[in-house]
Amino acid sequence: MIYLIQCTKCGMQYVGETGQCLHQRMNNHRADVTSKQLEGKPVGRHDKPQHSVEDMKVTIIDYLGLKDDLSRKCRESEWIRKLCAGAIDESHIPVSPPALNHTDYYNRKGWYSVILQGVIDHRFLFHEINIGWPGSVHKVLTNSALFKKAENGSILTEHQRMINGCNIPVFLIGNSAYPLKKWLLKPFADNDRITAQQRNFNYQFSRTRIVVEKAFGRTKGSMANAD
């Protein structure tokens, strides 16, 4: 089976798989938390002072029957990808600056632009588009409607699922410049202190984020062709 653990206090999500009964598997997770087993134990690492195992809600999201380990691992990865609603990013679109306040449009790369922010899904479709902030602005995300919606838990609600009576929210992924939120994941800071597992996470993360670069590239290519 594939199961989802959600912390009801901070929204942390963990997707796991097991061929054992769920009760047995949860006992293992509990033991990881109490014995402070951190290496390779994501649930064990969720050891914040006011967040205990008792705050974690467990939902079975998929039954596979008696499938082998590899099938379960594949289905687990599939579910992790399904819960990711898209990748967020922004891109500068060149413009001729207005006569008034033209310096606002001068971006750090040395040309005039407006900023396009969007969430791109696995089909390269744009959602939650925000365009028009002058090129010199740094905090498009926190000024956008998307941010307010996400903080209120109403982001991309069409992607949320109700499974076994449990509402399963989705999350977005962004590059290292974005803030870490319960609805927005970012890579681990790439310094010498990250573990091999965190490095592998970063690798998988950047592979998933490629959609955003391709989508912006295609959009800009079609704009250039329209000239």
Stretch that binds Zn ion, among 10-18, 97-105, 106-114, 215-223 (CB under 5 A): 10-18
Q: In this chain, which of 7, 15, 43, 61 binds Zn ion, going by CB under 5 A?
A: 7
**121 contacts 129 by C-beta, under 8 angstroms:** no
Any contact of residue 57 with Zn ion (CB under 5 A)? no
> Which residue's CB comes closest to Zn ion?
7
Any contact of residue 182 with Zn ion (CB under 5 A)? no
Distance CA 15, CA 118 (A): 26
Give the side-chain half-sphere CA count within 13 A for 53. Answer: 14
Contacts of 10 (CB under 8 A, 6+ apart): 48, 51, 182
DSSP string across 25-62:
HHHHHHHHHHTT--TT-HHHH---TT--GGGEEEEEEE
Any contact of residue 43 with Zn ion (CB under 5 A)? no
Any contact of residue 9 with Zn ion (CB under 5 A)? yes
The token duo for 11 is: 């929204």
Any contact of residue 180 with Zn ion (CB under 5 A)? no
Stretch that binds Zn ion, among 49-57, 117-125, 171-179, 210-218 (CB under 5 A): 49-57
Any contact of residue 10 with Zn ion (CB under 5 A)? yes
Any contact of residue 51 with Zn ion (CB under 5 A)? yes
For Zn ion, the closer CB: 5 or 12:
12
Distance CA 97, CA 104 (A): 9
Which stretches of the chain bind Zn ion, using CB under 5 A?
Answer: 7, 9-10, 12, 51
